Structure 1
Amino acid sequence: MIFAHDTEDSLVAAVELVNSAEEPDTLTEIDQLAAFFDKHGYTGAHARDAAELAAVRALRAPLRRMLTSDRDTATELVNQTLARHRAVPQLVRHDDVDYHIHAVPPEAPFPVRIAVETAMALIDLIRADELSRLSICADSTCEGLVLDLSRNRSRRYCSTACGNRNAVAAYRARKK
């Protein structure tokens, strides 16, 4: 299934944010948060301070729950998030990005935009009954999330490192 670019972008960002909590934690400094903001093309308010960093870090567990829940629970969490932040979806076009959905104003705090954009993206997965595109890494030593946007749904690992570690272990097991 092909999703809108803003859906995919929001899901990729949310999965990266959730996975940043895995060891080693990759979101401990304000500069890392700024790099995350830039990498994922966020727009609007960005305080670049310790309070914002703490608020974004605090989002990781609730987003993980939202992204790993069954369909009914995910729907409930999405609806709660949208209601809490009074999300009002609107089509916008800015910079070199064609029409896409923003559901909070540009002055909304960065953590609010992350939560709402993730919830909006999850709406597409729930409606298409495609939550199976989100899973936990197949590496038994890892709890990272996997977003599988491949056509054949073959992605099993959250990172190349986990995939390589398991390939090496399988190779060594066959050689014994």
Structure 2
Amino acid sequence: MLDGQHDPAIRTAVDLANTVKPITGADELETVQQLADFLDRHAPAAPGPRHPTRADLAEVRALRGTVRAVLERASTDAAGTAALINDGLRRSRATPALRHEQGRWWTETTSDTDRCAAHLAATTLSALAAVIAAHGPARLGACAGLRCRAVFVDLSRNGSKRYCTRNCAHRAGVAAYRSRQGRG
């Protein structure tokens, strides 16, 4: 079962994937400074060096593509998603470790390299793997909003999430209502 320890890593994975907006083409990871800001906002879920380079930016942007693909495809291609996660974890040299602090045990996956993207890959991909293992691949998805396509992880009790936010769900409901009114 997932616990609070995984939540920051899951949030980091979703936020990383959503730094690109497929509908508009907007990209929030175009500069090294934007990457540094992202890493600062997501510490400690994004361990590793805090002074990224242009090479780090290129690697993290490539990782973003993998994380986004995992989130978008998990519910329709579980085997392919597992292959993406496993390959990403291998390439990042991810190593699981059992930790104990303040009377609580948990597992943490880190990388033994100092590369920023490797740490992010180990953290985010292992968190997404934990969600799939605990809840199934259908808990990862892309927003059903026609003008959105943001990705999300659904940790709700019933697992019925179709939209990234309540705003997107509301917009879809309003659009459906207006469409029905136009037909009547």
TM-score range, shorter chain: 0.7 to 0.9
Question: Taking every aligned residue pair, what percent have the same amino acid on both sides?
Answer: 35
Give the deviation of 1:129 after TM superposition: 4.7
For the residues of structure 2 that align with 1:29 and 1:116, how far apart are their CA atoms? 22
For the residues of structure 2 that align with 1:53 and 1:92, how far apart are their CA atoms? 30
CA contact (8 A) 1:6 1:121 kept: no
Which TM-score applies when normalising by structure 1? 0.79
> Which segments of 5 or more consecutive residues in structure 1 lack a partner in the other structure?
none
Q: 1:164 to 1:12 in 2, by over 3 A?
A: same
How many residues are aligned here?
172
For the residues of structure 2 that align with 1:87 and 1:29, how far apart are their CA atoms? 26
Is residue 135 of structure 1 aligned with residue 141 of structure 2?
A: yes
1:5 counterpart letter in structure 2: G
Q: 1:55 aligns with which of 59, 76, 79?
A: 59
Which TM-score applies when normalising by structure 2? 0.76
For the residues of structure 1 that align with 2:132 and 2:154, how far apart are their CA atoms? 15
RMSD: 2.7
Give the deviation of 1:174 after TM superposition: 4.6
For the residues of structure 2 that align with 1:171 and 1:63, how far apart are their CA atoms? 34
> Which segments of 5 or more consecutive residues in structure 2 lack a partner in the other structure?
none
Give the deviation of 1:65 after TM superposition: 2.2
Q: Deviations over 1:29-53 (max 9, x none)?
A: 3333223212222232133333322
Query: Could you say what secondary structure the match of 2:111 adopts?
Result: coil
**Map 1:10-159 → 2, pairs under 5 A:** 10-22=9-21, 23=24, 24-41=26-43, 42-67=46-71, 68-69=73-74, 70-92=77-99, 100-105=107-112, 108-159=114-165
Give the deviation of 1:111 after TM superposition: 0.9
